Amino acid sequence: MEKITIGIVGSGPEGAIPDLLPYDKNIDLWIGADRGALYLLKHKLNIDYAVGDFDSVTADEIAKIRENTKEMIRMPSEKDETDLELAINLACKLKPETICLFGVTAGRKDHELINIQLLYRLLEQGITGKIIDEQNEIIMTKPGSYLITRNPEFPYISFIPFTEKVEGIHLEGFYYPLNNADISWGSTLCISNELSSESGNFSYRRGILLLIKSRDSFKM
């Protein structure tokens, strides 16, 4: 089965959403979650699916979304799942290798925190989930060994424990290397590192790590 990458755009603050056009070349299909569908239209991208209750858009905007979407799935406003979770559930049915999430941070903190936790649900299903905004790229990882290449857009690299403890961390090719280190909730040991060459490796043997690549401010 062909491995696909799905892009989902949520209803988060529009100013935190990067230019989506550079990402489009690696995205096989786009899903707009509620107002995220409108953001896709503003970026002049095709919408494969639009899903949500659409309570954050006007009647005219809903008509525009419907006209420019291959399939629109409208849900009642009173429901158990957020619009983003509905979009993720739809994406998972399509058996992607990767799901990239845009417009899911920088707004309400309750939504932002649960959206980061949704990456864990994807990880459990064998799907790589990425949250991408103007300042950050967030990926949740399982124990193993990983190659990281230098990205001048996001020069800073941090590792944050998602589980209470993460054990056996090795960092090679970083300005601040580590050898068999353990970190737990609240530790700042692995914050704001950088690659010392064009690529580096990180590995660990137990726990779940959030890998966050970032820059200090919005790109002007």
pLDDT digits (tens, 9 = 90+) for 145-173: 999 999 998 999 999 999 999 999 999 99
CB 132 within 8 A of CB 100: yes
Look up the CATH superfamily of 5-134. Thiamin pyrophosphokinase, catalytic domain (3.40.50.10240)
Give me the percent of the chain exceeding a pLDDT of 70. 98
Count CA atoms within 13 Å of residue 110 on its CB side.
1
What confidence score (pLDDT) does residue 217 get? Answer: 75
- Reported as a pLDDT band with limits 50, 70 and 90, residue 71 is very high
- Reported as a pLDDT band with limits 50, 70 and 90, residue 220 is very low
- In the chain, what are the helix, strand and coil shares in percent, each to the nearest 5? 25, 35, 40
What confidence score (pLDDT) does residue 80 get? Answer: 74
What confidence score (pLDDT) does residue 1 get? Answer: 55
Q: Read off the pTM.
A: 0.92
- Reported as a pLDDT band with limits 50, 70 and 90, residue 55 is confident
DSSP bridge pairs for 140: 210
For the cut 80, the answer to whether the pLDDT of residue 219 exceeds it is no
What confidence score (pLDDT) does residue 102 get? Answer: 97
Range list of H helices, 55-212? 59-67, 83-93, 109-124
Domain 141-214 matching CATH 3.90.700.10: the answer reads no
Q: Where in the chain is the domain with CATH 3.40.50.10240?
A: 5-134, 141-214
Residue 192 DSSP SS3: coil
What confidence score (pLDDT) does residue 12 get? Answer: 87
Closest C-alpha to 158, from 193, 183, 184: 193
